Amino acid sequence: MPTGHAVIHGYLRSLDGSPGVYRMLNAKAEVLYVGKARNLKARVTNYSRPSNQHSGRIARMISETASMMFLTTRTETEALLLEQNLIKQLKPRYNVLLRDDKSFPNILIGKEHGFPQIKKHRGKRSEKGSYFGPFASAGAVNRTLNQLQRVFLLRTCSDPMFESRTRPCLLFQIKRCSAPCVGKVTEAEYAAQVSDAEQFLSGKSTQIQAELATAMAAASEAMEFERAAALRDRIRALTNVQQAQGINPKGVAEADVIALHLEGGQACVQVFFIRANQSWGNRDFYPRTGAGAEEAEILEAFVTQFYDDKEPPRLVLLSHAVENPDLVAEMLAERAGRKVELAVPLRGEKAELVENAARNARESLARRMAEGAAQTKLLQGLADAFDLDAPPRRIEIYDNAHIQGSDAVGGMVVAGAEGFIKGQYRKFNIKSKAGALGDDFGMMKEVLTRRFERLLKEDPDRKTDAWPDLLLIDGGAGQVSAVGEIMAELGVDDIPFIGVAKGIDRDAGKEEFYRPGEPAFALQRNDPVLYFVQRLRDEAHRWANGAHRAKRSKAISVTPLDDVPGVGATRKRALLAHFGSAKAVARAGVSDLMAVDGISEAMAQVIHDFFHDR
């Protein structure tokens, strides 16, 4: 099949000057590149002419192109949005790709209750209330929540817990909550605390401190010394919060600082979140560089993909200019519903913020490259030790967790050349009888069957990197034999797998390894590959046990009221607050149930019939 400039030139007759998106495909119909253009004909014309001005990356891409596909749009902004959607969906080799789909946590002060709860929130903003963020990590949110509790004494307990309290909890005793659950503070006083917290999170901490100082002086003059001491403690806590905030730019109220460092074909992008003149943490990203893209293209692709599902701030500070700054700013403004400014500062406080982010990007990439070299050596050692054809690019490690068959969960952990790939971890709630029976072989069969049936359905030709090169199974000869039968039944018995058993006295360091049809063997006690396998096994164990604990904890909090038709969270809270327990609700008559707020006669009859029919 012909490829290259001549093939691309053949499409010119059917193109006009419309904006749109084009796809370049190789002889196997695999998408090599997705691009946008203000003028499709002009862009394709540029590719169709042999030129020494093309970079090596673009020249390789053109030489592999056997066909093209086109989609026209009304505007270039629409083309940019469509381009990023297709890049995320198709993951072409020559495109820059942001390999991270995690959302960022926020702080939410709810507004659906007379005494609002302050809590961490992640995901869609569907709950009524005030949102503050994003924060770089759950740890950053938790630290801020801890500080806010000291200063503003807002409750963090859930609504059902709030309704069921008859006396203050420990947080009141250690001065982390004002105990609105038992009337230690009025609704108006609590509303003032909520307002202060919202002002603080909006950057008005100086004003709050002055108001607290005035109130403390007034309480002291009125000889309300206990109240004055409480206000003094809150002022001290607020001062500590302000001192612990790290980099607090005075001239930048709201911005994301995005800096790129490119070295050896690898890239690191650092994003710092500035909100309310405070640094709310940072996160590093390692986008795929599209086989050699330059800084401007990498940063533009990163920005457009990063804000695909996030609301951009009013200001985005960049370390490098992007290729189409006006177009990117227009796209971000359309997404935010207001103006968004892109800037590459050269001096002043903003430039210092960018330089700090760039330094962090440089250092993070250096650490990652060093770790990658060590990881590559370990993967080669693993291939040598286990007689694999090549170092594995993707290892999947499986483990089960349960207590005598209850709350059984299977866990899958993934590792590769870059270490643990936590975004690829999976947990499997065991649905078959094997879980209830505590049958480890049966549970492993269910997990592997579900895993590989899905892979065979989604990618039967194994074109993506979702297929593993090696499976590690927690178990010995029996487990390995069972896994061999499962893989043969699924038709994927060409994937090597190894069982890892604790060995003599179940002592770490004496692990035995099992392969189908071969005797068990062990590695030297000081072999780095043995430590590597132990880390993989222990991570799978941690992940499976964590999923099991979460499932068990959730099961403990379940009540029969969860199964009553028409009884949601609000009615459940009201019933438990009125009767004290689900058992008391089950014993109640229709007239007693009707005494609960929100329970009509028809609803009371439904609840009564549910328990008495049982």
CATH of residue 21's domain is 3.40.1440.10
- What is the four-CA torsion angle of 89, 323, 267, 67, rounded to 10 degrees? 40
Same domain for 577 and 540: no
Check whether residue 335 and residue 301 sit in a common domain: yes
Query: What are the backbone dihedrals phi and psi of residue 468, each rounded to the nearest 5 degrees, phi first?
Result: -80, 155
Domain boundary among 46, 69, 95: 95
- Residue 278: pLDDT above 50? yes
Average pLDDT, the chain: 86
- Number of domains present in the structure of the chain: 5
Q: How confident is the model at residue 245 (pLDDT cuts 50, 70, 90)?
A: very low
Q: Let me know if residue 261 belongs to a domain.
A: yes
The structure tokens 């420990």 sit at 170
Question: Can you tell me the distance from the alpha carbon of 94 to that of 91, in angstroms, rounded to the nearest whole number?
Answer: 9
Position 554 in a domain:
no
- The answer on 333 and 198 residing in a single domain is no
In this structure, the answer to whether residues 115 and 215 fall within a common structural domain is yes
Domain end (from 202, 220, 244): 244
**What's the CA angle centered on 408, arms 402 and 411, to 5 degrees?**
90
pLDDT tens profile 11-49 = 998 899 999 999 999 998 999 999 999 999 999 999 988
For 156, which DSSP code? -
Regarding whether 144 and 12 lie in a shared domain, the answer is no
Which CATH number is 362's domain given?
Answer: 3.30.420.340
- pLDDT at site 244: 44
Domain membership flag for residue 385: no
* Euclidean distance between CA atoms 545 and 224, whole angstroms: 52
Predicted confidence (pLDDT) at residue 374 exceeds the cutoff of 70: yes
CATH number at residue 579: 1.10.150.20
Do both 129 and 236 map to the same domain?
Answer: yes
Q: Would residue 427 count as lying in a domain?
A: yes
What proportion of the chain, given as a percentage, has pLDDT over 70? Answer: 93
Q: What is the pLDDT of residues 311-348, one digit of tens each?
A: 899 999 999 999 999 999 999 999 889 999 999 999 99
Give one DSSP letter per residue of 558-600, joined into a string. --GGGGSTT--HHHHHHHHHHHSSHHHHHH--HHHHHTSTT--
Does residue 337 fall inside a structural domain? yes
Instruction: Report d(CA 303, CA 472) in Å as an integer.
Output: 38
Pairing of strands 470-474, 394-403: parallel
pLDDT of residue 214: 81
Looking at 34-185, list the stretches that DSSP marks H as alpha helix, in order from N- to C-terminal side: 40-48, 56-64, 76-90, 138-152, 159-164, 170-173
- Same domain assignment for residues 513 and 569: no
| HSE toward the beta carbon, residue 475, CA cutoff 13 A | 22
Contact between 67 and 61 (Cβ < 8 Å): no
Note whether 91 and 114 are same-domain residues: no
Average pLDDT score over residue span 489-515: 81
Sign of the dihedral through C-alpha 5, 8, 14, 16:
negative
Q: Is residue 383 part of a domain?
A: no
Q: Are residues 540 and 396 in the same domain?
A: yes
Q: For residue 32, give the H/E element and its range.
A: strand 31-37
Query: Could you tell me the two tokens for 584?
Result: 């008391």
**Residue 288: closest CA among 436, 465, 125, 434:** 465
Q: Is the pLDDT assigned to residue 558 strictly greater than 70?
A: no
pTM over 0.95: no
User: Rounded to an integer, what distance in angstroms lies between the CA atom of residue 299 and that of residue 320?
Assistant: 7
Encoded amino acid at 438, one letter: G
Upstream peptide bond of 560 is cis (omega within 30 degrees of 0): no
List pLDDT tens digits, range 46-104.
998 887 778 888 999 999 999 999 999 999 999 998 998 899 888 899 999 987 766 78
Same domain, 34 and 73: yes
pLDDT confidence tier of residue 436, bands split at 50, 70 and 90: low
- Per the domain annotation, does 549 fall within a domain? no
Domain boundary among 200, 220, 244: 244
476 plus 573 within the same structural domain: no
Which two three-digit tokens encode residue 308?
């695909």
Strands 426-429 and 406-416: antiparallel
Decide if pLDDT at 238 tops 70: no
* Residue 301 falls inside a structural domain: yes
Is 318 in the same domain as 270?
yes
Say what the pLDDT of residue 247 is.
Answer: 52
> Residue 119 is part of which domain span?
105-244
Please answer whether residues 104 and 131 qualify as being in contact, where contact means their C-beta atoms are separated by less than 8 angstroms: no
